[in-house]
Amino acid sequence: MGIFHTFPLSSGAKIRILIAGKKELPSISLDPDTQKFEISKLTGISKSAVHILNQVHGDAIFNSETSESFSFPEADALIGESSGKILCIKTADCMPLFFWSTESSKFVAVHSGWKGTLAGISEKALGQTFSVSILKNGSLRVYLGPCASGKRYEIGEDVASLFRSEFPSCLRSVSEEKSLLDLESFVKYRLEKNGIVFQFESSGICTMGENSDFFSHRKKETGRNLNLIWKED
């Protein structure tokens, strides 16, 4: 069933992460109702508990605790706290990032393409979710799902220049006009730059890989990977 992980919390509850790709999902329908139906089938949790965003590659952050799941807000990060509430991030090369703390009831899902990463969506979402002590005491956990890796994610000089001015180590030149961008290394740099202490784990899967089981927009695949996080008591 795609990628499935369980992480324990100090309270005795658990964080569940499930990432579904080509083998689990139909590639023909991208509407939220169909996606919620598929998520319910995969998790056994009601569609009414699934929160999906209208992702726009920005830095808006939405708190799922203050809205019903039938809303479809324009945002690229979701904050959750209630058990049994599923937060969904849709990707097809962008980074799906999950954040939680072993000492907190809250958890975060972030859709982070190059625009959102530069705009600081991850650090902004963390600042809205967790106390300063949580962000500094080493209890923060980060999980990165399948995305376009620095081995294959090619960008033009217009985008590369924006990253080079801040953290040139995330780039590898392949020609005068093209570079490979490692978004994972850049988001780690940004978190550290903001004094955030974290333990990072990655799926290590590149969506653009030749035999990847996960959808890639750059390979002209129409489906979307569904990246899910929820808390279970």
How many independent structural domains does the chain possess?
1
**Over residues 207-231, mean pLDDT:** 96
Tell me if 103 is assigned to some domain.
Answer: yes
Tell me if 156 is assigned to some domain.
Answer: no
Tell me if 169 is assigned to some domain.
Answer: no
Contact at 8 Å (CB) between 79 and 128? Answer: yes
pLDDT in tens, 151-178: 999 999 999 999 999 999 999 999 999 9
Burial 92-114 (b: 16+ CB within 10 A, else e): bbbbbbbbbbbbbebbbbbbbbb
CATH number at residue 35: 3.60.140.10
pLDDT in tens, 123-144: 999 999 999 999 999 999 999 9
Tell me if 132 is assigned to some domain.
Answer: yes
Domain with 102, as residue range(s), is 3-151+195-232
Tell me if 166 is assigned to some domain.
Answer: no
CA distance 123 to 128: 9
Reported pTM: 0.96
Helix (H, G, I), strand (E, B) or coil at 29: coil
Q: Quick one: which of 132, 25, 116 has its CA closest to 78?
A: 116
Whether residue 54 has pLDDT greater than 80: yes
Q: What is the pLDDT of residue 1?
A: 67
Tell me if 125 is assigned to some domain.
Answer: yes
Q: What is the pLDDT of residue 71?
A: 86
Q: What is the DSSP letter of 206?
A: B
Helix (H, G, I), strand (E, B) or coil at 153: coil
How many Cα atoms occupy the beta-carbon half-sphere of 157 within 13 Å?
A: 4
**Over residues 57-73, mean pLDDT:** 91
Q: Say how far residue 177 (Cα) sits from the centre of its chain.
A: 29
Q: Amino acid identity, residue 74?
A: E
Tell me if 86 is assigned to some domain.
Answer: yes
What count of other Cβ atoms lies within 10 Å of the Cβ of residue 47? 17
Tell me if 51 is assigned to some domain.
Answer: yes
